[in-house]
Amino acid sequence: MTEPTIHQSDETARTIRVGVRTRTLSDARLRYIRQLGATDIFVDHADTEEEPDEFNDRDGADTVAVGRDAIPSVAELEAAKERVESHGLTLTGIQSLPYSLYGDIMFGREGEKEALDQIKTLLRNLGEADIPVLGYQWNPRGVVPMRTTPVELRGGAEGTAFNLDEVDNPDALAPGIDREYTEDEFWDNYEGFLQEVLPVAEEAGVRMALHPVDPPVIESLGGIPRLFRNVENFERAMELVPSDSHGLKLCLGCFSQMGEDANAVVRRFAEDDKIVFIHFRDVVGTVPKFNETFVDEGNFNTTEVVETLDDVGFDGVVIPDHVPKMEGDDDWRHRARGFTIGYLRGVVDSVQRS
How confident is the model at residue 146, as a pLDDT? 86
Q: Which CATH architecture describes the domain 14-353?
A: Alpha-Beta Barrel (3.20)
| Alpha carbons 213 and 230: distance in angstroms, whole number | 9
Q: What is the mean pLDDT of the chain?
A: 91
Does 9 have pLDDT greater than 60?
A: no
Residue 63: the pLDDT is 83
Residue 50 has a pLDDT of 56
Q: Which amino acid is at 90?
A: T
Q: 32-46, 47-61, 71-85, 249-263: lowest mean pLDDT where?
A: 47-61
> Where along the chain do its domains lie?
14-353
Whether pLDDT at 319 is above 70: yes
Who has greater pLDDT, 4 or 134?
134
Task: State the DSSP string of 54-105.
Answer: THHHHTGGGB---BTTBPPPHHHHHHHHHHHHTTT-EEEEE----HHHHHHH
Is the backbone peptide bond immediately before 170 cis, with ω within 30 degrees of 0? no
Q: What is the pLDDT of residue 144?
A: 67
The pTM of this model reads 0.93
Q: What pLDDT band is residue 1 in, cutting at 50, 70 and 90?
A: very low
Average confidence (pLDDT) over 270-285: 97
pLDDT for 4 equals 35
In sequence order, what DSSP letters do the residues of 263-325 get, joined into one string?
HHHHHHHHTTT-EEEEE---EEEETTEEEE--TTSSSS-HHHHHHHHHHTT--EEEE--S-PB
* Percent of the residues in the chain that have a pLDDT greater than 70, as a whole number: 92
pLDDT (tens digit per residue) in 219-254:
988 899 999 999 999 999 999 999 999 999 999 999
Q: Which helix (H) or strand (E) holds 116?
A: helix 112-128
Asked if pLDDT for residue 53 goes beyond 80, the answer is no
65/269: higher pLDDT: 269
Per-residue pLDDT tens for 325-353?
999 999 999 999 999 999 999 999 999 99
pLDDT digits (tens, 9 = 90+) for 157-207: 999 999 999 988 888 888 888 899 999 999 999 999 999 999 999 999 999
